[in-house]
Amino acid sequence: MPSLRFHIRFPENKIKEPIIYQIGHEYKVVTNVRRADVRETTGWMDVELSGDVAEIERAVEGLRKKGVLVDPIELNVVE
């Protein structure tokens, strides 16, 4: 199953929303938080998404539609 990693930045108004939980339920991907720093006004996470590549792409687009910034992490490896 392919796994891709992404750096996600949350605007202040999205900090308290369970966005990673929602993505795991709305799309056929497994979410794995690798690192995170979430505070009251800022937040970021490095997240690994596993699943079909097309479904991972749909999940990333879903994250962006929810208002978070998503960037691929350079060392993505498809296993």
Domains of the chain: 3-72 (3.30.70.260)
| Closest CA relative to residue 10, chosen from 22, 25, 28 | 22
pLDDT range class, residue 2, cuts 50, 70, 90: confident
Distance CA 29, CA 14 (A): 21
pTM: 0.87
Q: What are phi and psi of 55, to 5 degrees?
A: -70, -35
Distance CA 67, CA 30 (A): 20
The predicted structure's pLDDT at residue 25: 96
Using one digit for the tens of pLDDT, what is the confidence trace for 17-73?
Answer: 999 999 999 999 999 999 999 998 999 999 999 999 999 999 999 999 999 999 999
pLDDT range class, residue 1, cuts 50, 70, 90: confident
